[in-house]
Structure 1
Amino acid sequence: MSKIQVNKLHTLTGHNDCIYALAEGSDPRFFYTGAGDGMVVEWDLDRPKDGKLIAKLPHSVYALEVDREKNHLIIGHNFEGIHVIDLNENKEIWSLKLTDQAIFDLKIFGNELFVGTGDGVLVVVDMTERAIKKHIKLSSKSIRVLSIARTKRQMAVGLSDHTIKVLDLANGLHPIANLSGHTNSIFALGFSPDETLLVSGARDAQLKFWNSVNYTLDQNIVAHMYAINYLSYREDGKYLATCSMDKSIKVWDVENHKLLKVIDKARNAGHGTSINKVLWSTYSGNIVSVSDDRTIAIWQIEVDNL
């Protein structure tokens, strides 16, 4: 059994509205945040207090994605489309009008960008041609979250119709599985680093562990008091962090599906309102969290194996 020690290292401020988006850079020393104020900011884990404004947009930003090969930051601009920033040059190189809906998630795979929108349409963008390749209507309800298993060439899509759809990236986005069991919108979704597991979390506060070989349910846990907003694995896949509208972060033993640690305001001077995203840094091993309280927290996580 493992024991987790937590130390809050930093509280970062600068956004003027709820922070919704969080992404690790191609150089994982850097991470990016996007908020309701339309600002996108770059942060340096070695000098965390010095945030750098990357973009200021007229509408809120719910989704960010980094093209690691090109070192481009892709911004999901609600009710508009995408903006592509060259991080080497610190300037926008192109943009594309896509939708009049919210953009809840972005994922890049090869030369294709997948955009999950508020009207249940998966927009596929050819990043080389800088053009829309196709629209796929998956539901009448929002697409909230995307996760890609790169080796398996599969993408899981979490929807507000309470289902998870698994699509085959190698075969024209052909459906592989339709997973049901959640009783509300799926906000959190992630393939484990070894791709043998898919974990989902929803507005129903439940965390589900799916065997991604045959997409059967291994275990269901009532994990939080309120909606689970996001999840992130430690790089080795042994541990998982979830964050919630209940203002807490929870750390889980992935193999045993066990809760190891609760990080909250009472115990750790945590966030005062809903925590919207977490990122388990591959650079420092720390956890980064962003919240409706307009702050970013950086948590040092130490694991003692008993």
Structure 2
Amino acid sequence: MIVEKIDTFGGHRDCVYSLEKGPQSNQFFSTGADGLVVRWNLGRPDLGDLIAKVPASVYALAFHWSSGLLWVGQNYEGLHLIDPDKKQEVSSLKLTSAAIFDIKFYKNDAFVALSDGIVAVVDIEQLAVKKHLKASEQSARSIAINPVEREFAVGYSDNVVRIFDLTTYELKRIVTGHTNSVFTVAYSPDFRFLLTAGRDAHLKVWEVERQYEAYQSIVAHMFAINSVVFSPDGTLFATASMDKAIKIWDAETYKLLKVVDRARHAGHGTSINKLLWTDYESQLISASDDRTISVWKVA
């Protein structure tokens, strides 16, 4: 396997926390501690386009495909819906005074993970809260949707992953095994497995159809794992860590294939917070505390 750094995108003035796909395969959005929301073109890395500026840090971005609006989760203020082309705020919802860690969509629902332990279910059309799911006193950090089983997984800072029904919102299952905060959850593309990781640096794989029975437990990094993403074809996945490394894994065998770091690949110098594996020439994007975004070719 060959991993080659193609580009570095600079321009953010502080840590970059979130990446999100844009409406075209060569576009993506970024945001972070500086409150800048930027649209990038993978074909033209020198052309960062400022879409919005909010007065607090942002951990969560989500692009809503049918409306073409970018949802921005501003810490302590709530949700801002931005039209990226007009660079205008279309609407907003003062959802919470807590931090917003993740936003995911399913049909007409937006699921929003909050630092007060609540997952808010928001009606997308009405932009109104339908339900507060309070299953923990500690932060809800990451959400993954499984439309096949009609459920969604939430990773929490109380070391637990909880599985909810997508339509009734009822708590279906509690998945335990991590010894510290769960920062990232991701279903495999075939929805047979759930991958979870976090502060304990362990990558855990759960078999969905066997009631989330433990399938694999891997000491994957030296420090906290912040992000897990699958390649577009589903054959690989990548993990990113506070240990400054990206690791590429075989999605079938869970075997480590490549370590991408500063020494060997001119990688990031500080914590890597988010990964995005794009459909554009299967390029992998990473965002870091070092204020930069790197683009990687994986072949």
Q: Using structure 1 for the length normalisation, give the TM-score.
A: 0.95
Counterpart of 1:209 in structure 2 is 205
Counterpart of 1:199 in structure 2 is 195
- Decide whether the 8 Å contact of 1:85 with 1:92 is kept in 2: yes
Counterpart of 2:108 in structure 1 is 111
Q: In the alignment, does 2:267 pair up with 1:276?
A: no
Counterpart of 2:99 in structure 1 is 102
Amino acid at match of 2:202: Q
Counterpart of 1:145 in structure 2 is 142
Counterpart of 2:227 in structure 1 is 230
Counterpart of 1:258 in structure 2 is 255
1:134-157 deviations in Å (ceiling 9; x for gaps): 211120000010011123321100
Structure 2 alignment gaps of length 5 or more:
none
* Runs of 4+ more than 4 Å apart: none
The 1-side partners of 2:180 and 2:130 are apart by 31
Q: In the alignment, does 2:170 pair up with 1:187?
A: no
- State the secondary structure of the residue aligned to 2:263: helix
Q: Which moved more, 1:31-40 or 1:129-138?
A: 129-138
The 1-side partners of 2:46 and 2:135 are apart by 41
Counterpart of 2:173 in structure 1 is 177
The 1-side partners of 2:70 and 2:42 are apart by 18
Counterpart of 1:60 in structure 2 is 57
Out of 121, 133, 136, which is 1:136 matched to? 133
The alpha carbon displacement at 1:252 in A equals 0.4
C-alpha distance 196-268 of structure 1, shift in aligned 2 (>3 A): same
Amino acid at match of 2:180: N
Q: In the alignment, does 2:14 pair up with 1:14?
A: no
The alpha carbon displacement at 1:87 in A equals 2.9
The 1-side partners of 2:251 and 2:234 are apart by 7
Amino acid at match of 2:183: F
- State the secondary structure of the residue aligned to 1:161: coil
Out of 15, 31, 35, which is 1:34 matched to? 31
Counterpart of 2:287 in structure 1 is 290
Out of 218, 223, 235, which is 1:221 matched to? 218
- State the secondary structure of the residue aligned to 1:193: coil
The 2-side partners of 1:91 and 1:232 are apart by 30
- Aligned residue pairs total 298
The 2-side partners of 1:135 and 1:218 are apart by 31
- Decide whether the 8 Å contact of 1:26 with 1:67 is kept in 2: no
Counterpart of 2:48 in structure 1 is 51
Amino acid at match of 1:33: S
Counterpart of 1:241 in structure 2 is 238
The 2-side partners of 1:213 and 1:64 are apart by 30
Structure 1 alignment gaps of length 5 or more:
none
Percent sequence identity is 47
- State the secondary structure of the residue aligned to 2:55: coil
Coordinate RMSD, CA, aligned: 0.9
The alpha carbon displacement at 1:92 in A equals 1.3
The alpha carbon displacement at 1:90 in A equals 3.0
The alpha carbon displacement at 1:260 in A equals 0.2
Amino acid at match of 2:89: E
The alpha carbon displacement at 1:88 in A equals 4.1
The 2-side partners of 1:18 and 1:274 are apart by 9
- Decide whether the 8 Å contact of 1:117 with 1:144 is kept in 2: yes
Q: In the alignment, does 2:87 pair up with 1:90?
A: yes
The 1-side partners of 2:179 and 2:23 are apart by 36
Q: Which moved more, 1:87-96 or 1:224-233?
A: 87-96
